[in-house]
Amino acid sequence: MPALVLVFVLVVLGNIEPAHAIPAFARKYGLPCSACHEAWPKLNNFGQVFKDNGYQLGNDRDAPIYQQPSYWPIAFRITPNWHREHDSALPNDQSPTGVSGVSTQGFDLSGMDILAGGTLHKNITFLLVPSADNQGSFHFEAAWVRFDNLLKSRWLNVKFGKFELDNVISEKRILTLSQNGGLYQAYHYLPFVDPTQTGSLVLPAGAPGEIGVRSTAFGLGDNQLGLEVSGHSRNSYTRYSAALLSSTDGDVGLPTSRGYDTYLTFSQAFNAGSLGLQRGGAFAYFGQSPTRFLTQSGNIVPGTGFGNRNFYRVGVYGLIYFKKLDFMPMFTHAGEDARLTLGFPSDGILPTGIHNPTWNGTMVEAHYTATPQFIVVGRYENIRVSQQLFTASPTDLGNLNSYTIGYRYYPFMTSRAGFAIHNEYSRVRSVRTSSLATNETTDSVFIGMDFIF
């Protein structure tokens, strides 16, 4: 226990997401992992160029036909860990007020990723990531093929399948892993529905058998299904991508409707001499989601969604370097049609006092890369609701603040395997969202052994 206390103090002072860092690439080209990573899985610009080029260096080792038969482009990643979770207002029947603070702690496993990627042929790239939760239930986190350098131009590459959106601030390469800190809040925030205002709300009756659906359940950090066109300059200082996506939030089997979403992004970098490479960019996601579904015996019939209404996410970001210290600021603005939030028929007239909810997010993440073997990370995020769903709701309802701090120490990182000792503390506070309309705070302490081989 004293050792755990010591590590906890280091965390305070100082659910795994898949990351596409594959030691097989280093084995293939005979390069150290530090050639592509500032600190695994965070990319440097060389790694960004390698990724943009379709995991190719442009030499005779690119095509797999020239590789030794023993070469196998695959890696496994998992993180045994100890973690503690605390919720300040967890609903339960034993509390006189209906909620109470509850903590859980113990040893655990993260999910596991099997990462296979590389070239099927020169200028034909692939990535396949079967991923399991910590109970061993598998799904396909990513599965895509990309045709690189079409018309002999790096400005025209086409990707097809399930893939991460071209977010330079990548949630799949995030350096924090805890339940609270292992995601970007701005990528997943959804408007809070004030329960004190819904009691008297009467939804219009749909056709017999129809059922309403509440909330978009969309996450900008989720991998999506679709087609992406992208391009970049020789050094990847200038980058763009445009994607046409199924309106399913990456779920397979056409579960929602026949709609399509659009994602656009552009970024520009410049070299600031001894300070390092600086980058700025912008992105926009325009999506739609159904408000009604047909039913059979009271159950939703998959793929029969209709009455689509719109939602959007737009943002700007930067990657700012001061030698070993770097910052990732990001500002986002988002909104959705109130009918999505309420499951209200698309052709229904909204009652007085209901508006399309909108919100803004601000984030600053900082990294101090002391050495290639040690990096400290800190992040602050806030969400501020600019327009509530209900006029009568408090103006700060659903506002959110999040803090994360931690470090990763790499005893080794070779072309055969990587290992990181990962310690982290994260805290999220949301305003008036408990069942008693009070503030709710969740805390995570995470001590993990993150390895890939």
Number of domains in the chain: 1
Helix (H, G, I), strand (E, B) or coil at 51: helix
Reference 176, options 392, 337, 403; nearest CA is 403
Q: Which long-range contacts (CB under 8 A, 24 or more apart) does 9-14 make?
A: 10/407, 10/423, 11/405, 11/406, 11/407, 11/423, 11/424, 11/425, 11/445, 11/446, 11/447, 12/405, 12/425, 14/376, 14/405, 14/406, 14/407, 14/423
φ, ψ dihedrals at 189, nearest 5°: -65, 140
What are the distances in angstroms from CA 199 to CA 69, 122, 193, 424? Answer: 66, 61, 11, 41
Q: Tokens representing 111?
A: 């999910």
The C-alpha atoms of residue 76 and residue 120 are separated, in whole angstroms, by 20
* Residue 235 near residue 47, CB atoms below 8 Å: no
Which pLDDT does position 335 carry in this prediction?
Answer: 97
Element (H, E) at 449: strand 440-452
Buried b (16+ CB within 10 A) or exposed e, 327-358: ebbbbbbbbbbbbbbbbbbeebeeeeebebbb
pTM: 0.87
The C-alpha atoms of residue 139 and residue 6 are separated, in whole angstroms, by 37
Q: What residues pair up with 369 in beta bridges, in sequence order?
A: 375
Which pLDDT does position 35 carry in this prediction?
Answer: 65
> Which letter does DSSP use for residue 172 in this model?
G
Which pLDDT does position 5 carry in this prediction?
Answer: 36
> Which letter does DSSP use for residue 207 in this model?
S
Which pLDDT does position 214 carry in this prediction?
Answer: 66
Length, in residues, of the chain: 453
What CATH number is attached to the domain comprising 260?
2.40.160.10
pLDDT in tens, the chain (453 residues): 344 333 333 333 333 333 445 666 666 666 666 667 666 677 777 767 777 777 777 766 666 655 665 566 788 999 999 999 999 999 999 999 999 999 999 999 999 999 998 888 889 999 999 999 999 999 999 999 999 999 999 999 999 999 999 998 999 999 999 999 999 999 999 999 998 888 767 666 555 566 666 667 899 999 999 999 999 999 999 999 999 999 999 999 888 877 899 999 999 999 998 888 899 999 999 999 988 888 888 788 888 888 889 999 999 999 999 989 999 999 999 999 999 888 887 777 888 899 999 999 999 999 999 988 999 999 999 999 999 999 999 999 999 999 999 999 999 877 778 899 999 999 999 999 998 999 999 999 999 999 988
The answer for residues whose C-beta is within 8 angstroms of residue 69's C-beta and 6 or more apart is none
* Domain of 397, in residue numbers: 2-452
Which pLDDT does position 354 carry in this prediction?
Answer: 93
Reference 408, options 182, 180, 176, 181; nearest CA is 176
The C-alpha atoms of residue 184 and residue 171 are separated, in whole angstroms, by 7
Cβ neighbourhood burial of 183 (10 Å; 0-12, 13-18, 19+): buried
> Which letter does DSSP use for residue 188 in this model?
H
